[in-house]
Amino acid sequence: MKKSLTLRSALMAIAIASTPALIAAAPATTDDPFLWLEDIEGAKAIAQVEQWNGQTDRLLRAAPTFEQDRARARAILDDESQIALPDRVMGDRVTNLWRDAKNPRGLWRSSDLASYLAGKPNWKTIIDVDALGKAEGKSWVWHNADCLAPDYSRCLVSLSPGGTDADVVREFDLTTGQFVKDGFALPEAKSNAAWADRDTLLVATDYGAGTLTDSGYPRQVKRWKRGTPLSAATLVKEGVAADISVRPRAEQDGERRWTFIDRGLSFYASELYVEGTGGKLVRTPLPETADFRGLFDGQMIVLLNDPLGNIPAGSLVSWPIADVAAGKVGAPQLVLKPTATTVVEEVRATDHILWVKQLDNVSGALLAMTRDAATGRWTSRPVPLADKATVHLVGTADSQDMVFASVEGMLTPPSLMAAGASGPARTVQQLPARFDASQFTVEQRFATSKDGTRIPYFLARKKGVKGPAPAFIHAYGGFRAAQTPAYLTTEPYRAGPLGLFWVEDGNAYVLANIRGGGEYGPTWHQAALREKRQNAFDDLAAVAEDLVKTGVSMKGRIGISGRSNGGVLVGAAMTQRPDLYGAVIAGSPLEDMKRYSHLSAGASWVAEFGDPDKPSDWAFLSKWSPYQNVKTGVHYPPAFFYLSTKDDRVHPGHARKMAAKLMGTGSTVYYHEYREGGHSVGADHAEDAVRAALLHAFLTKELVDAKKK
């Protein structure tokens, strides 16, 4: 059913009122009339953003469920019963970043490992991020801390002003609980720093003109000695402007610390060097497309993304690191092969065990692998965790040969589990249920895409729901990033408990595992790369059409959602199939694929999408680039854009221009741009809770209420 003209007029009056006079006044100095919206902090662009924000707030905050949703989402996000995941284990101590209502930016704190494992940690605050920001007059957002093994007394703490990818790096002394006076410190930049030893860093940062790549990342790594100015650091490795980045890396293997330089040639190709005797750089035997996953028992552990001789793509292999550093390179040893349904996703090492997290038909599975030093033979032991669940390896206790894993499913509350050298994994902590799971069902289904490929998806809905109901699909489809089922209070990603709110209403929530991700390994990703991108859009449509065919939903009552790369996915989907979808949510999205490689970090993604400056690549990009495919005379499904002004990864101009162009067609557009938060959007839980409530109001209005008229 269509909206009544009266309701349509009312919505349009609020959502795109004065379509804006600010847009109409802009001179069309190029073939892109909205180019001025790329001026991130420009007064005119910000005035337009504030106008759109206000219109969306006035419309959606008036929804009868908004305040209840916002308060409930905030309570869930700030609940002090949340799991204190370890960000690292250092000897017999564990650290964690804790965020709640009183500490929105977080407390970096530590506990002894024994009490932590017993479920009764004795926390001691190391850095209060909120208090630090207040004292220094900065809007600090925590990034991470890198502490030097094996004594872990000195750390490099990274803090971002407002949540951008760029941050400052400062040396911190864990023994005194203070930043080191006249210690190592890097000004704001997209830096990478690694400890070579206590008095030496390898640093990639902005050293001035000509030291960044076209993607905006460092292209020089220098050795910086304590007590000398950064300007005196000596060059170790330099790339070229066309590289993605050049960055240092350090890995501890037993008593030996190894340092590496990774020269990123493209998003999926790099050259890896190890520092040998006297600091001499030695090119490792890793194929350019392979991923270095760490060191274990004197071995470099490597994941192949392309076949290597007779070894298939998706396999784990190893080389002896000492031989590599000495320039003695032999054939790799096979560690683990993939199967038709299982692929390697994460790898962690403790002193005597290599922990491998796999996906088995998109559900997490854990293996404990050991290597016989005499024969070099690898053996594995499965460690059961949960079915149809998301599993992430979140920390290791090296000398205890223990790995920590977070485990959750759509109806299974998150838990922290610990696995050791023998026996089953044990639960360290599990959150209490935040809803009655018995009223819902979750099942895995498969749709058939246009080319015959079977596409898995997870379907959550209320028991007893009959007949077609509104549905909401979240997907990503790119960069080898698999989408796995998380607890409904956090589905979909960066939207708080939106998934829970939606199924509680009697609607259907779907997580689609389309091609382009890593659900079935490298070939699943490559099937939607560059000129094959249309497969991802076809996969999403296949899932939606399967919902219609099986009676779960119906055309026009299916919403789609995606963030970042998922934003370009839903943008292309809505322009190709406006008949199929009834609402679109695009978070921090890519939209203008003609200019993306010239905006923020866009140049680094050419290997994923193609180079629009090359006519041969633009030939296929132009067929689906959302911004270029918005047509006058076509009425598109209502769209909601959310993003951050401070996003220095995906340029805010993408969402701004797409919103403006859609408004010009008479389509309904909602827009919410946070001023802080970076690519992750919300700088704290308060913003996350507002977003969840706004999105619920949007979906309800466009997929439920509007269809009743």
User: Which residues contact residue 522 at a Cβ distance below 8 angstroms, ignoring those fewer than 6 apart?
Assistant: 304, 305, 306, 313, 314, 480
Nearest to 284 by CA among 302, 268, 298, 265: 302
Contacts of 84 by beta carbon, 8 Å cutoff, 6+ apart: 96, 98, 116, 121, 123, 429
Local structure of residue 703 (DSSP, 8 states): I
Look at strands 508-512 and 471-474 and give their pairing: parallel
User: Is residue 195 within 8 Å of residue 171, measured between CB atoms?
Assistant: no
Which residues are registered as beta bridge partners of 270? 264
User: What does the radius of gyration of the chain's CA atoms come to, in whole angstroms?
Assistant: 25
Q: Does 598 qualify as catalytic in the annotation?
A: no
625 is catalytic: no
Q: Which residue has the tokens 């970090």?
A: 601
| CB-based contacts of 278, cutoff 8 Å, min separation 6 | none
Exactly one of 679, 680, 685, 696 is catalytic; which is it? 679
- Residue 567 CA to residue 709 CA, distance in Å, equals 29
Distance from C-alpha of 191 to C-alpha of 635, rounded to nearest angstrom: 44
Instruction: Single out the residue of 660, 656, 655 nearest to residue 20, CA to CA.
Output: 660
Catalytic position from the list 561, 564, 588, 600: 564
State the DSSP string of 284-309: -S--TT-EEEEEETTEEEEE-SS-BT
The residues pairing with 98 across neighbouring beta strands, listed in sequence order, are 107
CA–CA–CA angle 223, 280, 172 (5° rounding): 30
Distances in Å between the Cα of 220 and the Cα atoms of 136, 166, 653 are: 30, 16, 29
Query: Shortest CA distance to 164 belongs to which of 193, 132, 140, 187?
Result: 140
Q: Which of 577, 446, 461 minimizes the C-alpha distance to 509?
A: 461
End-to-end Cα spacing for the chain: 7
In degrees and rounded to multiples of 5, residue 57 shows phi and psi of -60, -45
The residue count of the chain comes to 709
Whole-angstrom distance, CA of residue 9 vs CA of residue 15 = 10
Edge-to-edge order in the sheet of strand 269-275: 245-253, 256-266, 269-275, 281-283
Strand partners, 318: 301, 333
- DSSP string across 136-147: HT--EEEEEEEE
The DSSP result for 172-236, as a single string, is EETTTTEEPTT--EEEEES-EEEEEETTEEEEE---STT-B-TTSSB-EEEEEETTS-GGGPEEE
Q: What H or E segment, with its residue span, contains residue 265?
A: strand 256-266
How many helices (H) and strands (E) the chain has is answered by 16, 37
Of 242, 241, 154, the closest CA to residue 193 belongs to 154
Query: What are the residue numbers of the active site?
Result: 564, 679
